Each structure stands twice: as structure tokens, then as C-alpha cells.
Amino acid sequence: MNYDDRMKNRIKRIEGQLRGILRMMEEDKDCKEVITQLSAARTAIDRTIGVVVSANLVECVQKANESGQESTEQLVKEAVNLLVKSR
């Protein structure tokens, strides 16, 4: 699978969020602020998972249609299972 710059930039942004959270912890910031930022990072990760899975699904369906190999229904089931596992 080809991971485009958009996906990589999401990960870089999450990396920055996590560094900021660590800095907040080192500065003994309020628990509520830290939890809020952790929740935001988790949401960003969840959305990134969705982007990666959907891009992979599109790529796999296109290849399957071109080659006539696997049914698209099976590919969709696999994508849904990936999303479920990520939770």
C-alpha cells in the first residue's frame, strides 16, 4: 500500500500532540488538561486508522475488479474487521 503525504502528516501531527502531552506531564499540568489532550490524540489516531483502512479498501477493490480475483464483499468485510480490531 502507498501511504501518501496526507497520512504521514497526520502521524506527524499526532507525534507532536504526544510530545506536548509529555511536556504537560513533566510540567505537572492539571489532570483534566492532560486527559483532554490524550483524548484528542486518541481521536486523531482513530481517524487516521479510518483513513488508512478506507484508502486500502479502495486500492484493494480496484485491484480486485481489474483482476477478477476476490469478491468486493469479502474485501469490505476485511476492512470492517480491521476497524473493529482497532477499537
3-60 per-position pLDDT tens digit: 999 999 999 999 999 999 999 999 999 999 999 999 999 999 999 998 988 888 888 7
pLDDT grade, residue 84 (50/70/90)? confident
Cell of 48: 487516521
- The model's pTM is 0.79
SS (H, E, C) the chain: CCCCHHHHHHHHHHHHHHHHHHHHHHCCCCHHHHHHHHHHHHHHHHHHHHHHHHHHHHHHHHHHHHHCCCCHHHHHHHHHHHHHHCC
pLDDT at residue 86 is higher than 80? no
pLDDT score, position 42:
95
Number of domains in the chain: 1
User: Where in the sequence is the domain holding 53, given as residue range(s)?
Assistant: 5-85
Using CA atoms, how far residue 1 sits from 5, 57, 67, 76, in Å, is 13, 10, 17, 16
pLDDT grade, residue 69 (50/70/90)? low
Burial group, residue 5, by CB count within 10 angstroms (0-12, 13-18, 19+): exposed
**CATH code, domain carrying 26:** 1.20.58.1000
Check residues 51 and 85 and name the one with the higher pLDDT.
51
pLDDT score, position 29:
97
